[in-house]
Amino acid sequence: MSDYRAPLEEIKFTLETMGQMRSWTNFKGFEEAGEDLVAAVLEEAGKLAADVIAPTNRTGDEVGAQWRDGYVTLPDAFKPMHKAFVDGGWPTLSADPAYGGQGLPSTLSTAVTEMITSANMAYSLLPLLTAGSIEAIAAHGSDEQRKIYLEKMVTGEWSGAMNLTEPSAGSDVGALRTKAERQADGTYLISGQKIFITWGEHDLSENVIHLVLARLPEAPAGTKGISMFLVPKILVNEDGSLGARNDVRCVSIEHKLGIHASPTCVMSFGDEGNCVGYIVGEENRGMRNMFTMMNHARVGIGLQGVSIAERAYQQAVSYASERVQSAAIGDQSRAPVAIINHPDVRRMLMTMRATTEAARAIIYRNVWALDRAHHAGTEAERHAAQAEADLLTPISKSYATDIGVEAASLGVQIHGGMGFIEETGAAQHYRDSRIAPIYEGTNGIQALDLIGRKLNMNGGAHWKSLIAEMAEFATAKDNSDLQKAIDALTAASDLLLANGVENIVDTASAATPYLRLFATVLGAYLLSQQAAEAERRLAANEGNPAFLRSKITTTKFYIEQILPQATALLAPIQAGARSVMAMTNEDFTHV
């Protein structure tokens, strides 16, 4: 497995172009986020990721998380690595200063998280889930809960876990059976079992704070009757010290295709009838509260797609540069050359690079919209930024995680037979990447969210505004290829928006191709913006010419080789569900 190098130049450029980094100090709360501070943070994060965290990736895959008698242990190398992460203050970067955070932009912490995730995707889920738990408690918890739990979670001393899924309730969360019983002292007793609980039990933090969805006895059916409860692994005394062990136990962990060092737990609550929980927010409002955490996690999972694609790309470039095989096509010499000289290998490498950079641009723009939704100067600006973030979130999660899988698969292909051998490490990236399109809402669910909720918000005002922005740019730059793709996106959007309830199956069948169409066009637009800035800097003799030229070349490749796929996706969207739903259930069994 090749070493990981943080792509600092690419990340900083994306922060500047997609995250408006040079304007951060103009926003209330971000006054300290100047260029020198940002550069220092990125530099140190890159060192941490490359030198401390990345070396644990292979060990984590080979040794994995180990379960014994209700306890989960991680490889020995993880403990000093996690300590370095916590002691360096990295979990506090964008957290609220009221709870010990540094209050820097989430867009900056996203850049740091990208590096951490590329270094070790399995480990990165620990701070990701903790950050989401912090956001949910901060938004919906009581003052007492914030006081007791948030500071320890912000520093990374305690971790957080999200408990939704049950054996009988996967994506249909409303079918859950976990129960909550009110007690006279205002607490609740929780009973039930949850599955697929990421980092639900481990030995890196001294406490795990579970956010658990459960149902009160008289609660209405479905998602309207779900409440959220805070269930600590170890109960916390009034003075903040740790008390007795709560009645919550990890009964097993899953044996998975990838991310072996991320314990995926089966959690049992109340086996002895004494699992104490505390209501978060109002009763029967748990699903709304949990979405605070889930939306945070969905963008973070999208970032995992970018991170694993970047790691796979770096390894593929390293291998292709060293592996000598066959003469170069069209060369008079028949001497064998490094395979990076062969056109099809170049095509695969460029596909990995271009789609990774497009997905990164989408993610960073999405997170900057979230930052503006909290820190913009006027209510109108904050509202518009939140609307943009809502629109982009399912696109970020779905497109970027699909790209992660596709890039990792191409990485294996570039390695040839050696890619199928575990020793090279290429297979680990592929195995690790495959979960990302599944968890935190499958990509099919993200596509349904896009067409079912986000497309119809305010009569389509938000996507229409974004399309108008893209079209204005295409016209100004006389970019006919981009305009053609924008026209296809507009036609698809208009068609799906016009579909009524009677055409809902047609709309649902078009959801996934529509999301891919939207993401591909958006990626082309954002890369074109970056290329235009690269051209400006080249002309002004600003920055690294080699990097700027490569950005322009990568964008041209995307426009010529990737973007045409977008216009082709209009046809299946227009076709509707005719062939999708034509076969009977029994027909599928015929072999």
Residues catalogued as catalytic: 440
Q: Check if the beta carbon of residue 202 is closer than 8 Å to that of residue 237.
A: no
Could you give the C-alpha distances from 569 to 347, 448, 510, 517, 518, in angstroms and in order? 21, 16, 9, 6, 10
Closest CA to 436 of 411, 412, 408: 408
User: Helices then strands (H, E): number in the chain?
Assistant: 20, 14
A 10 A CB-CB count for 460 gives: 17
> Given its phi and psi angles, is residue 237 left (phi above 0), alpha (psi -120 to 50 degrees) or beta?
beta
Tell me whether residue 380 is exposed, middle or buried, using C-beta atoms within 10 angstroms of its C-beta: 0 to 12, 13 to 18, 19 or more.
Answer: exposed
SS3 per-residue string spanning 345-372:
HHHHHHHHHHHHHHHHHHHHHHHHHHHH
Burial 121-134 (b: 16+ CB within 10 A, else e): bbbbbbbbbbbbbb
Could you give the C-alpha distances from 366 to 19, 119, 244, in angstroms and in order? 9, 23, 42
Sequence-distant contacts of 234-241: CB under 8 A, at least 24 apart: 234/206, 234/207, 235/276, 236/148, 236/149, 236/207, 240/148, 240/152
Tell me whether residue 350 is exposed, middle or buried, using C-beta atoms within 10 angstroms of its C-beta: 0 to 12, 13 to 18, 19 or more.
Answer: middle
CA neighbours within 13 Å on the CB side: how many for 488? 27
234-236/242-245 β-pairing:
antiparallel
